């Protein structure tokens, strides 16, 4: 219970608004053409700051997933650069990254514990060395007691929690999420939204969250980057200046509605342009 209390307390700390924090990574003139000839991204400039919760919003096919994959170092840039930095000092390598896919992407043959243990195992930690951290991560996503279950014994929402726990356990500085809740029903999605915000506050993460839902992006993020397709590029970059913690009250507030309307307008422009 103490854990939950802690989480709530830290979540109530007002999160900084975009731009006031040092940069974490910068995409400069990034273009990506696949070997099929599809130009997925063209000349994308984007600076992501430490502690930001940034949503990439856009129609299907506008290159949102491609941006995430490039940031994660999965795939080569065709043009441009991605530079990582720690405040004002450039970093030679990318920092530790957590990635959550739209599908839970678990190993079906392994228990919840072993799935969450995977990143630490790959780093060479033995099971006994990792046990506490793995169990803590499982607890943090609310799955205490499910360590010995197999993925197929869990519901969709719970599988996604395992996937988040696996990202969490490696203590990444930045979490990349590619439409993680798109396949879930609305009630489960709302609950996971709230839990994600709580973890974000708790873990001091930077989150890049891909979604095609205006409502989800306005609820979660303090900055929304609207993208347009063919070729994929940044269409608009807006700040959502509403305080955290956010809850049902925010979801029904006038501010929320206004931001949703603004984001919708940008999205429509992006789709017609």
Partner 1 sequence: MSAHAESHDEPIVLPPTSLSSIVLTRIVPPVLFGLFVLLLWEVVVRVNQIPFYILPGPLLVGETLIKDWGSLYPSLLVTVSITLSALIAATVAGVALSVLFAQSKWIENCLFPYAVILQVTPIVAIAPLIIIWVKDIRAALLICAWIVAFFPIVSNTTLGLNSTDHNLLSLMQLYGASRRQVFWNVRLPSALPYFLGGLRISGGLALIGAVVAEFVAGTGGVSSGLAFRILESSYTLQIPRMFAALLLITGTGILIFLVLTFVSHMILRRWHESAIRREG
Ligand X SMILES: Nc1ncnc2c1ncn2[C@@H]1O[C@H](COP(=O)(O)OP(=O)(O)O)[C@@H](O)[C@H]1O
Contact set with partner 1 (CB under 8 A): 4, 69, 72-74, 97, 99, 101, 103, 105, 107-110, 118-119, 121-123, 140-143, 146, 149-158, 161, 170, 185, 187-188, 191, 195, 198-199
Nearest distance in Å: CB 105, Mg ion: 14
- Judged by DSSP in three states, 108 sits in coil
Instruction: State how far the alpha carbon of 149 is from the alpha carbons of 111, 121, 166, in Å.
Output: 5, 19, 15
Identify what 34 binds: Mg ion, ligand X, partner 1, none; CB under 5 to 8 Å per kind. Answer: ligand X
- Judged by DSSP in three states, 76 sits in coil
Pairing relation of β-strands 23-33 and 39-49? antiparallel
**Identity of the residue, 102 or 171, whose beta carbon is nearer to ligand X in the bound complex:** 102
- Per-residue interface string for the shown chain with ligand X, residues 223-242, x marking contact by CB under 6 A: ---------x----------
Identify what 156 binds: partner 1, Mg ion, ligand X, none; CB under 5 to 8 Å per kind. Answer: partner 1
From 46-54, 62-70, 126-134, 156-164, give the range in contact with Mg ion by CB under 5 A.
62-70
Query: Phi, psi at residue 56, to the nearest 5°?
Result: -100, 115
**Identity of the residue, 98 or 232, whose beta carbon is nearer to partner 1 in the bound complex:** 98
Calculate the CA dihedral of residues 150, 152, 155, 159 and round it to 10 degrees. Answer: 60
Among 18, 50, 55, 65, binds Mg ion (CB under 5 A): 65
Pairing relation of β-strands 53-57 and 223-228? parallel
Q: Which of 127, 107, 123 is nearest to 115 (CA)?
A: 107
- For helices 127-140 and 112-122, angle between their N-to-C axes, nearest 10 degrees: 120
Question: What residues from 44 to 103 belong to the interface with ligand X (CB under 6 A)?
Answer: 58, 60-66
Identify what 199 binds: Mg ion, ligand X, partner 1, none; CB under 5 to 8 Å per kind. Answer: partner 1
* Position 36 contacts ligand X (CB under 6 A): yes
> Would you say 220 and 209 are in contact if contact means Cβ atoms under 8 Å apart?
yes
The distance of Cα 156 from the centroid of its chain, to the nearest Å, equals: 18
**Identity of the residue, 21 or 78, whose beta carbon is nearer to ligand X in the bound complex:** 78
- Residue facing Mg ion at closest CB distance: 65
Identify what 63 binds: ligand X, Mg ion, partner 1, none; CB under 5 to 8 Å per kind. Answer: ligand X
From 57-65, 82-90, 161-169, 226-234, give the range in contact with Mg ion by CB under 5 A.
57-65
Query: Phi, psi at residue 263, to the nearest 5°?
Result: -65, -40
**Identity of the residue, 203 or 228, whose beta carbon is nearer to ligand X in the bound complex:** 228
Give the number of other CB atoms < 10 A from CB of residue 257: 12
Q: How far apart are CA 111 and CA 148, in angstroms?
A: 5
Footprint of Mg ion on this chain (CB under 5 A)? Answer: 65
């Amino acid at each position: 219970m103490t854990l939950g209390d802690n989480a709530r307390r830290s979540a109530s700390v007002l999160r900084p608004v975009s731009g006031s924090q040092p940069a974490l990574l910068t995409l400069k003139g990034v273009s990506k053409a696949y070997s099929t000839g599809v130009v997925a991204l063209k000349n994308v400039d984007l600076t992501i700051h430490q502690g930001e919760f940034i949503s990439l919003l856009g129609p299907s096919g506008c290159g949102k997933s491609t941006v995430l994959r490039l940031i994660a170092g999965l795939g080569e840039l065709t043009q441009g650069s991605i530079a990582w930095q720690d405040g004002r000092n450039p970093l030679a390598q990318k920092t530790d990254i957590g990635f959550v896919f739209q599908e839970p992407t678990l190993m079906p043959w392994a228990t919840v514990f072993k799935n969450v243990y995977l990143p630490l195992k790959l780093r060479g930690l033995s099971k006994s060395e990792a046990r506490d951290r793995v169990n803590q991560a499982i607890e943090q996503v609310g799955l205490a007691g499910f360590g010995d279950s197999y993925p197929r014994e869990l519901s969709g929402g719970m599988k996604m929690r395992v996937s988040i726990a696996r990202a969490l356990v490696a203590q990444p500085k930045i979490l990349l999420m590619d439409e993680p809740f798109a396949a879930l029903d609305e009630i489960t999605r709302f609950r996971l939204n709230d839990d994600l915000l709580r973890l974000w506050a708790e873990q001091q993460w930077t989150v890049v969250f891909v979604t095609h839902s205006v409502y989800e992006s306005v609820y979660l993020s303090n900055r929304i980057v609207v993208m347009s397709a063919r070729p994929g590029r940044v269409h608009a970059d807006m700040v959502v200046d509403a305080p955290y913690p956010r809850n049902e009250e925010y979801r029904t507030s006038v501010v929320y509605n206004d931001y949703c309307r603004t984001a919708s307008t940008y999205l429509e422009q992006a789709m017609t342009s």
